[in-house]
Structure formats: structure tokens, C-alpha cells
Structure 1
Amino acid sequence: MKALLLENIHPVAVENLEKAGFEVELRSKSLSEDELVADLPGVTLLGIRSNTHITPRVLDAATDLKAIGCFCIGTNQVDLAGAAERGVAVFNAPYSNTRSVVELVIGYIISLARRLPEKTEKMHAGVWDKSAKGSHEIRGRTLGIVGYGNIGTQLSNIAEALGMYVIFYDIADRLAHGNARRMKSLDALLEEADVVSIHIDGRPGNLGMFGEEQFAKMKPRSLFINAARGFLVDNDALRKHIESGHIAGAALDVFPIEPKAQGDAFESPLQGLDNVILTPHVGGSTQEAQEEIGWFVSGKLRDFIRAGSTALSVN
């Protein structure tokens, strides 16, 4: 049986599947729909990350496919219902990179509050700008978390340990951790938060949920962070509010359109702005997280083929 793993999945997944008797092919980039249609016949297991999209046409062509492993948290890149109809199980890693994402967001918050992007840029340019202007501690500030799931709750705990007040909004009934306060509406959160961090999933109903209206309602001189899904946010509206000074800084790790392969060109309306951090979708890209994801998801794929185990399958 053959397994095809795309998008630089950790080698531990290759090792795990080869020990289970699979012939494994590892590729470094994502594949287009046409490439998947051409390459999937004969493939039993497919491993992907967020840039590979599994459409009905792909599933129709993948006549030998038994299971798909999303080596990430999100599964909105897969036609889950279509896979289920064809008997193809889909697995993901809902917990494995949680800590890595949270640590990146904490780093964002501190860096933006201290205006480190501007400081380091000036230092590289040979300018010594030793000033406290616009630089703040995060202690005593209010963090507003939009989406209080696995990542949101862990972020809540760590932010509170650093001395922040935490408020959150979620459409699901979530238990507040520590001293965090649940807000009755998103608007109420936006009015009170000094930092707004988004941690919601990629279901179609969330498309463009954060735009001009939401940015306008944010507290003046607040900070904005998106390490969830790129298509949740109108980045043109965000640029407008940063340029006006209403929003003091932003950090984004995800974008509506992302390059397919390492080294490809990247464009965003947020480029060239002061106190804006842009990172290439690396929230879960630590060695620790990628190894854990590789081990966890490949194990789920192996166990499905060996014994039909669908534990934690998303479809």
C-alpha cells in the first residue's frame, strides 16, 4: 500500500508508516487539484497540511484512497462530507501544536506592546532609537480572545499568569479558566480589550467575519492578532485602521492567499507598515509540534487501515 505525504510533513510520519508496511512518498510542497487528480490513483493514504485542498473532483479520482491525514488542526481544506460518502476517513491533530501557537501569540503581544518591530528595523539600519515612547508593559492590560477552544483557553491561562486580564467570546458554551470573563457579545469584547486575538475555526460561516465594522469598534490604540485563518479578516480594512492610528499594531501568521511552495513570492496589503509583524504561517511550526503531529496523525492513519479504528476522525 502507498502513502503520499505532502507539504514537508515531519519524517517521523514516514518512519511510522514504513514500519507499518507502507511505501511512503514524501514531497515538500502542496499539489493543485489537477496534480492530485493525476497522482492519487494507487494511493491508499494521503497526508496534507493547510495548503492542499481536497475537492469532490479529487475524491472522485482517488479511487484507492482509504484515509486522509491533516497534519494540522484545521480540516476546512477537505470536503469532509464527500470523503465520508466515499468511505474515506479524515483525521487531524487537534491538540499537538496548541502550545506552539500560544507561545507565538504571547511573543506577538509583548513585541507589539514594546514596539519591537520598529526598534529592530532601525537598529539594522544603524539608527539608535532609545526611547520609551509608545512602549508598554502587558501586565494589567486586557486580552480579548475570540474563540475559546483548545488554543484560546491555553492562551488565557498563560496571559493571566503574565498579569493580563482576560475576557473571551465564543458562540459555544465554554467554561472560563482562572479569572477569565465571558463576554455576552463580540462588540462588548472589542470595546474593552487592549489586545484582540482571534482563535476561531475555518468553517464557511466565519468567512470575512472580522472587517471594517469590527475594527471600528475596537478600543483606540489597541492591538490585533490573527493566528487562526487568513480568510477571517479583511486586511485592507485593517491597514486603513493602522494607518489612521486607531489600531496601534498588528501581527498576522495567516493570510487569505498564501504561497504554495517555499520561497514563492508573497504579497499583502499589510506590508510596509510600522509595528506590524507578518510571519509565514508558522504558528504550529516548531520542531516539537511538527514531530508530535507527525507521530499522532500517522498513528491514526495506521490504526484505521490495520483495525478500522475511527477514534477522533472528524467525519
Structure 2
Amino acid sequence: MTRIVLFENIHPSAREVFAEAGFNDIVAHASALPPESLREALRGAQVAGIRSRTHLDAALLSDLSDLRAVGCFCIGTNQVDLETTMLRGVPVFNAPFSNTRSVAELVLAEAILLLRRIPEKNARVHQGHWDKSATGAFEARGKTLGVIGYGNIGSQVGTLAETCGMRVVFHDIEAKLPLGNARACTSLEALLAQSDVVTLHVPGGRGTKNIMDAATLAAMKPGAILINASRGTVVDIDALHAALNSGHLSGAALDVFPTEPKNVDEPLASPLIGMRNVILTPHIGGSTQESQENIGREVAEKLVRYLRSGTSKGAVNFPEIPYQEAAGSARILHVHRNLPGALGTLSNLMAEHGLNIVSQQLQTRGQIGYVISDVEGTVDDTVMSVLRSHPITVRCDLV
């Protein structure tokens, strides 16, 4: 029986996918758990389903010998020690596409609201002022949107912006095929100098930490707007506060922050609190009913394919092997140390126990290799014990 443990109120669509595939031993927790409670909750689990607040570090993973796969029901995977999971033969899956539309719609909406000074106008009406002035309010049509990071979300933001009549330019460290009429900028500086609205869609990490600092904010077009719905560490908040206070920037919208509250009742600590030309949202870029349902289904389907056939396509930390229909009487999933002769060693062990290999797929990544072997013959506990105990083996499972 495969035990699946889910955390952080994952959408019911995930359970539906598991149930349809015959996996019914599912335990769901409505929130993230503290470390010791988390360790106990995952004891004996073959699959862990988490979102952004559940952290699986090396110390915790070392106690989870039964764990076969991890599903991150979100885009990011920073909350999982990917190196440790890989070395333990545990693939990690996420949902890089399912909330793309939701984030893109929020970014475009914020751009329009800030161009029209709606946050400030809204606050003034609530305070009893009827200010109908058009000063500082602009249409989106004809304005330039600069997209930093032209991946799944960034490119979709650009596509939506064009339908509003905006001109789209983008900058990415990799060469990307433009969609619609978008044009690539050869440098970040060139993008910043011409963009009326700049939106960030880059990953976290050392390479993107504070890419929007005092210098890059100063390089932005006077009166421009900055939007960040990517990672909280990519913007220097104090520098942004100074740029807004000085009037160099006319507005900003942030959905992510360097340090975020841990629960619903903890307030956000930020110098941007109370600024009328700033929209602050609680990391809800992908928080729509549609995206959460899609994420639940997408990640659960990847986990089911791995559990049933060994397919690792889409794993972020693991050799990727696409789906192939089973060709023998049994399928063996073997994760091994990536050393010369590993495949030959595995094949010899199988032959010694009377197994005929009908089909094999091998991929390697870093220090590990992954082989899916379809065999004819009897694969009993003795055979599995021999395979699992061999020095080259990291993990071995039968599906």
C-alpha cells in the first residue's frame, strides 16, 4: 500500500487523481507542520505533497527511508533540499505551468491600476475626497512594458499586455523566441531606460538577489512603475522605498517579499506599508481557484505516472525518462551511483537471477543514474534484496 501525505490544504483535485489511479491511503493536513510534527507525519510515507511553507531539509530527509517521491504543489522548489533528494533517489515534481495565467492577469491588472493611480484615488474616496483630476493618470495603450525574465509567465504577461495596446520588450539571460510583437533587449539597462512599466519574472537565488537595487532603480525611466511577482529577494526594498519617496518611480506592486509572515495573523514588516502608490498583496499571484485546481491535478498526475510506471519526466532534480509502455512481466526502477559499468553490473545481476531484459531506458544526472528495466521472469523478494544491497545501488523499486 502506497501512503501519500499531503500538507497545506492542497486542492481536492489532487486526491481525485490519486483515487482514480487506485491510491487511496491518503492523509491530508490543512497547514504546514513544525519540524518534529512533520517528521512524525511523514514516517512511513512513500509520497509527500507540499506547498511553499513545508521545508524538507537534509536532516529530515535522512529519517524518511520509505520516501519515494515529493510533489511541490506550486512553482518553486526552494523549500526542498534537491541535492539530498537526488542522492537518495527521490524525484521532486512541481507545477511550472499551472498558475501562469493567474499570475499574468494579476500583473497586467496591477500595471493598469497603477498607471491610472487607482490605489491612491480609491484611498481618497474612502477618506471623503472626490478628486477627479487626471494628473498623472495614463492609459496602458502606447506604453512600454519591460519584462525581465521571459519564461512561461513573463512571455504570457507580454502577450496579454499587447492586447491592451502596450509595446513589449524583454530581457533574459537565455535567448528566447519572442511571442507576438515583443522584442528582446540586449541589456537590462536598455530595457530599464525605455520601459514605463517593469515586471520581474526571474527565479530566486544568488544570481538574481537584489537585481533591482539603488543603481538599477535609478536607471529606470522617471515616473516608471515596478512590479514584482517573482521572488522576494530580487528587489532591494529599502532602495525601492527611497525611489518611490523621491518621486523617481510613480508606483510599485509587490506580491512577494524578502521575509514573509508565517501565518494569517502576522503583519508584514515593510517600509512600503501605507504608501498610497504601492499595491501590496500576500503572495497570491497564483492563488485562484482555477490555478489551484490545475496545480493539484498536474502534480498528482506526475506522481501517479512515476509510481505506476517510473516515468520521471518533469522532475526538477532527477534524470528524466519519458513514459514508455511496459514490455515485460515486471518493471524494475533502479537508481545507482553514476559510475562506469553501472548498467552492465545491473544487467549481470538480473541475468544471474534468471531475468531476461526486454527493454531498458537509462538517463544520468550528476552523481546518479536512473534505469527503467522491463524484464521477463520472476522478480521476488530475493531478487529485490540482491539489487538493493549492491554497493552501486541508491534505490531500487518494483512497479
The TM tier, using the shorter chain, reads over 0.9
Matched residue, 1:48:
50
C-alpha separation in 2, matches of 1:28 and 1:268? 28
> RMSD of the alignment, in Å?
1.5
Q: Which has the higher contact order (CA 8 A, sep 6+)?
A: 1
SS at match of 1:179: coil
Matched residue, 2:7:
6
Deviation readout 1:218-258 (Å, 9 max, x if unpaired): 11110000000111111111111101100100001111112
Matched residue, 1:124:
126
Find 1:247's aligned residue among 217, 224, 249: 249
Deviation readout 1:48-79 (Å, 9 max, x if unpaired): 12222222112112222111111111222222
CA apart distance, 1:34: 4.2
Matched residue, 2:271:
269
Matched residue, 1:293:
295
TM-score (norm 1): 0.96
Find 1:101's aligned residue among 97, 100, 103: 103
Q: Does 1:278 align with 2:283?
A: no
C-alpha separation in 1, matches of 2:48 and 2:270? 31
Would the aligned equivalents of 2:123 and 2:276 in 1 still touch at CA under 8 Å? no
Find 2:230's aligned residue among 214, 222, 228: 228
SS at match of 1:61: coil
Matched residue, 1:147:
149
The letter for the 1-side match of 2:227 is: I
Aligned residue pairs total 315
Matched residue, 1:86:
88
Q: Which moved more, 1:73-82 or 1:157-166?
A: 73-82
Q: Which has the higher strand share?
A: 2
Map 1:76-225 → 2, pairs under 5 A: 76-225=78-227
Would the aligned equivalents of 1:12 and 1:291 in 2 still touch at CA under 8 Å? yes
SS at match of 1:290: helix
TM-score (norm 2): 0.76
For structure 1, the 5+ residue unaligned runs are none
Q: Which moved more, 1:280-289 or 1:36-45?
A: 36-45
Q: Which moved more, 1:62-71 or 1:263-272?
A: 263-272
Q: Which moved more, 1:143-152 or 1:57-66?
A: 57-66
Q: Percent identity?
A: 50
CA apart distance, 1:101: 0.5
CA apart distance, 1:312: 1.0
Deviation readout 1:190-237 (Å, 9 max, x if unpaired): 111111000011233222222111111111110000000111111111
CA apart distance, 1:29: 2.2
C-alpha separation in 2, matches of 1:310 and 1:259? 34
CA apart distance, 1:98: 0.5
Matched residue, 2:352:
none
C-alpha separation in 2, matches of 1:30 and 1:133? 47
Would the aligned equivalents of 1:37 and 1:57 in 2 still touch at CA under 8 Å? no
SS at match of 1:263: coil
Deviation readout 1:19-39 (Å, 9 max, x if unpaired): 432322222322344443343
C-alpha separation in 1, matches of 2:270 and 2:35? 24
C-alpha separation in 2, matches of 1:51 and 1:209? 25
Rg larger in structure: 2
Change (3 A) 1:33 1:186: farther
Matched residue, 1:62:
64
SS at match of 1:102: helix
C-alpha separation in 2, matches of 1:2 and 1:133? 61
Change (3 A) 1:38 1:205: farther
